[in-house]
Amino acid sequence: MRIKVLSIRNSMMVCLMLGLTACSTPQPEQASESEASQIDTQTNVVYYLCEGAPMKIQFHGEEALLNWNNKRYHLTQAISASGAYYLGEDVSFWSEKNKAAIEIDDIQEVKCQLVRVES
């Protein structure tokens, strides 16, 4: 009699578990963290003319790579009251709408004019 009661209990538990599992909704697949960051961050390339010299800057998330006068500068986004502001070692870059400015080694600010944007 005891074996019969245990097997009935076990059968009831299995049925209950299967029933609960069948009622649950499947969770949507989550993108991995690296996939999500790739979706959220896109590289944009912007070209400026700075006092007659071409300048190229690539934006990717909070980072930027500035190419000007045959030099490369790695920049990180910083807080700005208006526009976008990026800082690197001895260099700063600010832009708003179609204008920009570069300051290198604390020398005079170089004004730039937007040429084109590539996404």
DSSP assigned state of 118: E
Q: In the predicted model, is pLDDT for residue 55 greater than 60?
A: yes
pLDDT for 119 equals 83
Query: What's the start-to-end Cα distance of the chain, in Å?
Result: 76
- Considering the domain delimited by 42-118, tell me its CATH architecture: Beta Barrel (2.40)
> What would the mean pLDDT of 96-106 be, rounded to a whole number?
93
> What would the mean pLDDT of 112-119 be, rounded to a whole number?
95
Task: Indicate the helix (H) or strand (E) that contains 39.
Answer: helix 33-40
Q: Phi/psi zone of residue 5: left (φ > 0), alpha (ψ -120 to 50 degrees), beta?
A: alpha
Task: Using a pLDDT cut of 70, give the percent of the chain over it.
Answer: 66
pLDDT for 60 equals 94
